[in-house]
Amino acid sequence: MHFPMAIPCPAGRIACRLKRRTMFEICSKIFVSFLVGCVASFICASTGGAGLISTPALIFLGLTPQSAIATDLLAMLGGAIGSFQRFYRSGTIDFRLGGKLMALTGIGALLGGRALLSINAESMQKITAILLLVILAIVLLRGKPQPRQEPASALLKGISFLLFVGVGFWGTFFGAGFLIFASTILVLLFGKSLLESAGLLSLLSLTVGLVAVLVYGRAGSVQWSYCIAMGLARHWAVHSVPASL
């Protein structure tokens, strides 16, 4: 008894090729995000503008502006944890001042996170483009701040503390440049040296990152594969480059 010869169907082969291609694209994007995390950390060490690299790169990889900002902020935790460990061991963190600044920054970060999630993707794309140019101009034009010598008045001290609510808001709303603003305030208004301010910045980075986990993690705005890859890159880089966050 003869049976008709089965005609090979290419559907299985096509599906297999598509699966391999999809896996290759995913792995390639994760690898690119790891490289972006490394480059952003080196940029952060010299200018404080890591988000100028990482946020546009994540948007280029296909993320919405909100998702790119959220993913980048959570990835920042990788470098912030390593930076905090190093400054803690060296004893350069002012925990008395840092605790107050963390509370104020945390309040602003909660408000900034909610504000970002309330804006639609199309509008945020335009806002992101404008803010990136503004931060880039600040990075290129700003000079090296000098620590304040004379003691601040009670009014100026109060304003200086309140500014960190704005720092926290900016940290979760946009991310890029918030370390620049915080460092400038610490040096000019609080009279901290660059090393002392770097120790405090590690606390503020942890604060913004943890609030981002709470707000954006619950909202489902984080691309976790990119976040983990960039976080590992930043954690590695913080041990290679001074004051990288």
What are the distances in angstroms from CA 191 to CA 94, 146, 158, 160, 177? 13, 8, 14, 11, 20
> What are the pLDDT digits (tens) for 191-223?
888 888 888 998 999 999 899 989 998 888 888
What's the pLDDT score for residue 113?
Answer: 93
Structure tokens at 114: 């909610």
What's the pLDDT score for residue 218?
Answer: 87
What's the pLDDT score for residue 166?
Answer: 94
Alpha carbon distance 76, 233 (integer Å): 10
What's the pLDDT score for residue 11?
Answer: 54
What's the pLDDT score for residue 244?
Answer: 40
For the entire predicted model, the pTM comes to 0.79
Residues of the chain falling short of pLDDT 70:
1-26, 37-38, 40-49, 143, 145-149, 151-152, 238-245
What's the pLDDT score for residue 82?
Answer: 81
